[in-house]
Amino acid sequence: NKAYEAFRKSALTKGSENPLRPDNDEYMEKGYVALHEKFDNSVSHALEYYIADNALSRLATALGKKDDARLFHNRALGYRHYFSKEFGLLRPLMPDGTFYKPFDPKQGENFEPSPGFHEGNAWNYTFYVPHDVMGLAKLMGGQKNFVNKLQSVFDKGYYDPANEPDIAYPYLFSYFKGDEWRTQVQTRRLLKEYFKNAPEGIPGNDDTGTMSAWAVFNMIGFYPDCPGDPSYTLTSPVFDKVTIRLDKAQWGRDKLLIETVRPNDEAVIIKKIELGGKPLNRYRITNDELLKGGVLKFYLK
């Protein structure tokens, strides 16, 4: 409860007294942060607040604080204010609530200044709502439109491996039945193309280990794509066998095994998955399920 109250205070304190959320006055009043200067980071800041509020909502729920849980849940959905039907992307808002124009979704490539976005552009940030993937898909017109637009991020070279806002993009395909293979193809491609065994072997600043952790998670076959959600999305591992040591007193076992059976070194697509010797017919798994399962086994084709 003490930790929760500290988190809650940072989410509800006005901006002038809040170094963690300097835009909080407008955010609490309107549900979004407007563009007040051409190259401010309004959308980027708000998206961080939405993700944090979602995590707060989950914690409030776990602590039985229903009113707070509802408040923060509703705030976490405020990203919808930024959704532009014209472009099918998130777009900066002016103080009067109208969309910023003229709007170029690609402005911000290669770290050039961009209205509303920090070190990126609309393509790098639009899917940065991991707590409401289905809600974003609905705004875009459904699964097919969502998947096609997300695929275009990779096909057209909009994905930026050197920075973190779109780092979980490859995993979002796996929220939709029948499109999980896209996650497996993209994670393996990105690892091979951008991560090398060399002094400059990562595509950008490691940012306290974020890039390295992304690579390691991908290599072992899963990734925590939504902050505050103790779950992982699965992908095809690079290694044939991984052993993770566990606290036996807590988990009833001293290790977790991740094994991969593949017909050849080029195999990437997952044929089937087993957890604890039983079929696992989904591509998301909770931390408890994973650690209690004992053995996570992938069969590739």
Mean pLDDT of 205-228: 96
Segments making up each domain of the chain, as ranges: 1-126
DSSP element (H, E) containing 137: helix 133-140
Lowest mean pLDDT among 53-57, 106-110, 281-285: 106-110
Confidence (pLDDT) at 32 = 99
Tokens of 70: 């509802």
CA distance 213 to 224: 10
Cα dihedral across residues 226, 227, 232, 235: positive or negative? positive
C-alpha separations of 107 from 54, 110, 160 in Å: 28, 9, 13
3-state secondary structure of 258: strand
Read off the pLDDT of residues 188-201 as tens digits, 9 standing for 90 and up. 999 999 999 998 89
Read off the pLDDT of residues 31-51 as tens digits, 9 standing for 90 and up. 999 999 999 999 999 999 999
Lowest mean pLDDT among 18-22, 136-140, 203-207, 230-234: 203-207
Read off the pLDDT of residues 63-74 as tens digits, 9 standing for 90 and up. 999 999 999 999
Percent of the chain with pLDDT over 70: 100
Q: Judge whether 267 and 228 are in contact, CB under 8 Å.
A: no
The vertex-235 CA angle with 279 and 155, nearest 5°, equals: 140
For 1-126, CATH number?
Answer: 1.20.1610.10
CA distance 281 to 272: 8
DSSP element (H, E) containing 84: strand 83-84
